[in-house]
Amino acid sequence: MKSLLATLALTTALTLPGIAAARPVTLTTTLSSYGGDGAYLALYVTDASGAYAGSLWMAGGKSKYYEHLTDWYRATGGDTAQVDGITGASVGAGRTLEITLDLADALFDAGYTLHIDAAVEDMRDSPNEVAVPLTTSGAGTPVQGRRYVASFAYDM
């Protein structure tokens, strides 16, 4: 029941901020200069048991590439209706994606993890490129990705 309520809080905080206690959170993802095409990124959340809780954002508009965001795709079956924001553009090497979303307070300090899957055409896919626990103390602390993300941080 707690997981269901937290998932509901996640989705309602993004679509109807007045229903759930939420705060604006800025997610900043800076890509390294990896020397390839733009990256497709899927930002999503899992609960304390590792179960998919919801999608936050996707950079890249061509659905034929979504299956390369393998962990996100496995969790959602590629259902883009679960993504609250999809941009038409991928994120270029060395560029920064900065988005601000209203995230439910229930996601912080409750065992939730924000994940980023990354994929670049003609290069290796990078599922779980970034996995960072959502904690109030972790806000503002940059973390490095595994392959394409030079740094990721969230600020409240």
- Span 10-41, pLDDT tens digits: 544 444 444 568 999 999 999 999 999 999 99
Q: Which two tokens stand for residue 146?
A: 């595994």
Q: What is the reported pLDDT for 72?
A: 94
User: Residue 34's closest CA among 114, 115, 98, 125?
Assistant: 125
The pLDDT score that the predictor gives to residue 123 is 94
Q: Are strands 113-120 and 126-133 parallel, antiparallel or unpaired?
A: antiparallel
Amino acid at 33: S
Which pLDDT tens digit goes with each residue over 97-149?
999 999 999 999 999 999 999 999 899 999 999 999 999 999 999 999 999 99
State pLDDT tens for residues 33-67.
Answer: 999 999 999 999 999 999 999 999 999 888 888 99
Tell me the whole-structure pTM to 2 decimals.
0.85
pLDDT given for residue 56 in this prediction: 92
Q: Which pLDDT does position 10 carry in this prediction?
A: 52
| Confidence grade of residue 85 (pLDDT, cut at 50, 70, 90) | low
What is the DSSP code (8-state) at residue 134?
-
At 107 the pLDDT is 95
**Residue keyed to tokens 């989705």:** 11
> What is the DSSP secondary-structure string of 59-127?
E---GGGGGGSHHHHHHHTT-GGGBS-EESS-B-TT-EEEEEEEEEGGGTTTT-EEEEEEEETTS--EE
Q: Confidence class of residue 96 from pLDDT cuts 50, 70 and 90?
A: very high
Pairwise CA distance, residues 32 & 67, whole Å: 22
Sequence ranges of the domains in the chain: 39-155
